[in-house]
Chains A and B, each alone.
Chain A
């Protein structure tokens, strides 16, 4: 591999875990950090062939302007909407109290 290996600190992994709301122990963070480095290095190897003048691809198909007409279609019955909800009340999804935010 031409590029020097990426280094990913345990702090950076901890931050990513926090953003993704995944609760990891210090041991787990230390365990995952080197694995994530390998993934980043593998992906980074793309830039060895993609030069600066090649724009990043966000879509595989060369399509633009795919629009639908502004027409109302039938929605799901509320029973179906709530069927998979772990909890519901008054035809609404019931969620735990949200802490630390307003």
Chain B
């Protein structure tokens, strides 16, 4: 991609924070995990061949009529309730009119002034401090198709001579969760934005309403930021960075916009109200200007009758909500015996508590599960620049690796190689062990022989151990492990050495 990096001037973050108060507004789109689309029976499965999951309804062919997916409405209400929202007694869908080939109908079915859920809040705990985020609304709509721009630079619209459209995603149920303006976060704003996104992701998983895989676009954030000079009460002009779809990107985009707007305002410049694009290298670029306010000419969707959830239904759904994340954290910390410090590490690694819980449920000890997810796997996620939950290994697979360690078939070093194999797509842990020949040598004869050879090759070390200096055994263990190419149980090797030299 021949894209140049940013030429925007940036203010030092700390200086920006001394001079301005950031105000955030976060709009998060969540793709539901229903089997079928919002208004028709086409499959929502990810990764199908282009245009194989479309029908007259989602293609907007004349004469077709949409019918609402009941499960999607149920999911919308459950999301709203989990965010402490009111649920509308009566609401309608609306048509949002716009011309862009990602929507074959030339309108998106959405909700306008009658969202299904409204006026909620979440309390986020971020490194020991609690921040309340007010929720404006949760509304139902449909996702759009996918465009690929052809010719010129790959994928980007600039220089493209035509575009190709796949409507498989058009009509997939989409929930939009919108916050009220979030003030008073100060220097913590980017961090809290990220924590909010992580909270929503964990919540969607807990509710079971979305796959919540950010790298597949199941959860996408439009991040609005403006700056108010310290002491001022007047909201500044905001920018909206579109489709930010990883936790670190949310934090990065907020931080970048704060620094960019800070530099502009400090020079007496003006922030232009516009949408901006996020680049994974860590910067934003201008998109469409919103100077000419959009006019979507919303009107009530005549093809869909109003949704009027009965209070009985709402209460039934409320009763079915899973344990709130905060009380779950307290409960699991007690159950797992994690210290406050350990728990802070767990909570600092977004999504890790759920992964640890699933690993424990699959048979691992809590300590081992924590060690894997916060150690080796956190390191690999960090190296790959992805979130823990996006690693291509399941909690069940991690538990299976740990079970092999517990039964003595793998030592730590080999277990890490198995993890590497699973991440590389080589199959289940047992498969990786077999294919790579990774099991520790349990052949006592071979082990015993390797120990004898190590003793013979290091007579002085052996002598010291005979004299009672057992800590010298380390050198011999190392020699044996090397001879066995790491495929031995170090504890067993130590036992053998001490036996032979006692």
Contact = CB atoms under 8 A, between A and B. Distances in A.
B175 to A, nearest CB: 15
A97 B54 contact: no
Interface string A87-99: 0011111111110
Interface in A47-75: 58-59, 61, 63-75
Contact of A97 (B55, B99, B162, B309): B162
Interface in B101-151: 101, 147-150
Interface stretch (B44-52, B352-360, B435-443): B44-52
A75 B70 contact: no
A43 interface: no
Interface stretch (A3-11, A33-41, A76-84): A76-84
B174 to A, nearest CB: 15
Contact of A76 (B54, B90, B100): B54
B54 A94 contact: no
B277 A70 contact: no
Interface string B29-65: 0000011100011110000011111111001000000
A69 to B, nearest CB: 6
Contact of A19 (B59, B100, B157, B295): B295
Contact of B162 (A58, A75, A81, A96): A96
Interface stretch (B198-206, B300-308, B365-373, B488-496): B300-308
Interface string B448-460: 0000000000000
A7 B479 CA distance: 96
A92 B71 CA distance: 30
Given A72-B35, A102-B288, A81 B70 contact: no
Contacts of B6: none
Given A75-B43, A92-B148, A65 B35 contact: no
A66 B68 contact: yes
A70 B71 contact: yes
Nearest to B36: A72
A94 B148 CA distance: 10
A91 B163 CA distance: 12
B165 A92 contact: yes
A67 B70 contact: yes
A101 B163 contact: no
Contacts of B34: 70
A90 B166 CA distance: 10
Given A19-B295, A98-B157, A70 B69 contact: yes
A66 B307 CA distance: 8
Nearest to A87: B162
A93 B92 CA distance: 31
Contacts of A65: 305, 307-309
Contacts of A68: 41, 67-70
A56 B160 CA distance: 46
B50 A91 contact: yes
A61 B36 CA distance: 26
A96 B43 CA distance: 28
Contacts of B35: 70-72
A76 B55 contact: yes
B312 to A, nearest CB: 13
B340 interface: no
Contacts of A74: 41
Nearest to A19: B295
A90 B50 contact: yes
Contact of A92 (B67, B100, B164): B164
A69 B67 CA distance: 10
Contact of A81 (B59, B72, B73): B59
Contact of A90 (B40, B164, B295): B164
B37 to A, nearest CB: 9
A65 B90 CA distance: 10
Contacts of B55: 73, 75-76
B165 A81 contact: no
A81 B48 CA distance: 15
Closest 9 CB pairs of A and B: A73-B41, A67-B70, A58-B300, A92-B164, A70-B71, A64-B308, A93-B165, A63-B305, A95-B101
Interface of B: 34-36, 40-43, 49-56, 59, 67-73, 90, 92, 97, 99-101, 147-150, 157-158, 160-167, 277, 287-288, 295, 297, 300, 302, 304-309
17 contacts: A67-B67, A67-B70, A68-B41, A71-B36, A72-B41, A73-B40, A75-B54, A75-B55, A76-B54, A76-B56, A78-B52, A89-B164, A91-B49, A95-B147, A95-B162, A101-B157, A101-B288
Given A64-B307, A70-B72, A97-B157, 19 more contacts: A58-B92, A67-B73, A68-B70, A69-B70, A71-B41, A72-B35, A75-B52, A76-B54, A76-B56, A81-B51, A92-B164, A93-B101, A93-B164, A94-B163, A95-B147, A96-B163, A97-B149, A98-B163, A102-B287
